Structure formats: C-alpha cells, structure tokens
Amino acid sequence: MQRSAPRPSRSRTRNRVRMLACAAVPVMIVAAGCSSDSDDAAKDTDKPAASASKEAPKVAPAKFSSLPADPCKSIAKKTIEDLVPKAKDKSGSSGKSSDISTRGSCSWNGLDDNGVKGSQYRWLDISFMRYDSDTGIGSGQDRAADYYKKEVAKARATEGAKGTKAAPASGVGTEATTVTYSLTKTDESFGYATVVARSENVVITLTYNGAGYAGAKSPAASDLVKGATKATKEAVAAVPGTAG
C-alpha cells in the first residue's frame, strides 16, 4: 500500500512564505538602484549638449591676411613723380614696424625750386593698418571699422587746422572719407587732403599736402583731393588679394 507524502504543517508553510518574501526584497532594491543609475546617466548625457550651446559665437574670418611687403611700392612711381616733383627719394622712406603683416608706412617729400618764379613743396604719407578676427574681440572687419572712424575723427581734429571739411570718397575701398583743411607752418599756408579708406579689415590713411614758396601759389584743395584719391586707390589695390 503506497503512502501519501505527509502534508506540511501550517507553521512550516508560514515560515516558507516569509522566507520567499524576504528573498524578494533585495531583488526589488537592486532593480530600483539600477533604475536610478540609468536616470542619472541620462542626465549626465544631456550636460555636454547644454554646455555646447553656450560656446562663444564664431566671428567672420578676416578677408586679408597680409599687407604689401613694401608700403613704398604700393603707389606707382609715375604717380609719385606727378604728386611729389623733385622728391628727395623717389623710392620713399619706409617707417619702422615690428610686424609688417599688420602695419606699415611710407612717405615722400620734395621741393621743386624755380628760383625767382617761386617753389612748390609737396609731402605725401601713407600708412596701412590690418586687423585679424578674434572671438574675444570681434571680426577683423568690425575692428577695422572702429579704427577707420577714429582716423577720420583724428584728421578732422587736427590742431591749428582751418576750414576743415569732410566728405565721402566714392569708389575707394569698402568706405572712405576725405578731410581737407589748411594749416600755417613756417609762415606759409599749407593745403591738406587726407583720405581715410577701409578695405574690409585693412585701413589706409593717406595725407597729401603742399605749399607755394617765394610768391608761388599754394595748390588748390581740389587738386590735392584729386591726387590723394588717385594714390589711395592704388594703395587699396596693392593689398594682397585685392582685385585691381
């Protein structure tokens, strides 16, 4: 006769239920822990995207990366001969620069002595200033535009100048202004024409002046402006990368 398996007592059944319940608790805790780690990981993943959106805005690259290697050659020899007759040095006198890629200058002067008929003195000076783009400061074009305004203001505020006038100079670079005035030096009245021109991130300041000695008439303001404008256009075209 086959015996049936003995039934567990009620007390043993309750103990086994308790053991199963206790065993289930750690599993739930682990599961909860994994879920929390996943949420934290997701949050960490979002952080780089948030910081990337706060990066400094990019600025437009500067158009010109250099200046004429020799500023004295930025104006044609024929133009120098016309504007500064009898120039002491037709090749010009270049100014000192610690970085010729960002700044440069050159000047010419001469006296055309005609004895008792009078003499004509002329002086021509040109300077270049180039700006690079910088994310912390701004684009080269914007920086050059600021310097351009300062140069125009400087020319208009020349000490001792009389009859100062300023007018836009069309067809010269990105923007340009001509400033004219007269100035008394060595008991003579000198006429001045200064052209400040900006070509993208490069600013060119050209000053042309002259006077008549021994009874000779001083140059007319219109002639000075015409000569200064012509020379400035040549200087703008001499910047590497500029279309002539």
- The domain segmentation of the chain, as residue ranges, is 1-55, 71-238
Alpha carbon distance 87, 103 (integer Å): 24
State the Cα angle at 229 between 225 and 233, rounded to 5°.
Answer: 175
Alpha helix stretches (DSSP H) within 77-220: 77-83, 140-156
Q: What percent of the chain has pLDDT over 90?
A: 68
Q: Decide if pLDDT at 175 tops 50.
A: yes
User: Model confidence over 212-226: pLDDT tens digits?
Assistant: 998 899 999 999 999
On whether the CB atoms of residues 123 and 218 are closer than 8 A, the answer is no
- Please state the rounded mean pLDDT for residues 171-199: 95
Measured CA to CA, the distance from residue 71 to residue 107 in angstroms comes to 9
Residue 69 three-state SS? coil
Confidence band for 46, pLDDT divided at 50, 70 and 90: low
Task: Please identify which residue in the block is written with the tokens 């300041």.
Answer: 205
Is 23's pLDDT higher than 50? no
33-47, 71-85, 108-122, 135-149: segment of lowest average pLDDT? 33-47
Query: Distance between the two ends of the chain, CA-based, in angstroms?
Result: 120
Looking at the chain, the whole-number percentage of residues with pLDDT higher than 70 is 76
Instruction: For residue range 123-144, list pLDDT tens digits in order.
Output: 999 999 999 999 999 999 999 9
Contact by Cβ (8 Å): 181, 163: yes
pLDDT above 90: residue 20: no
CATH number of 71-238: 3.40.1000
pLDDT of residue 215: 86
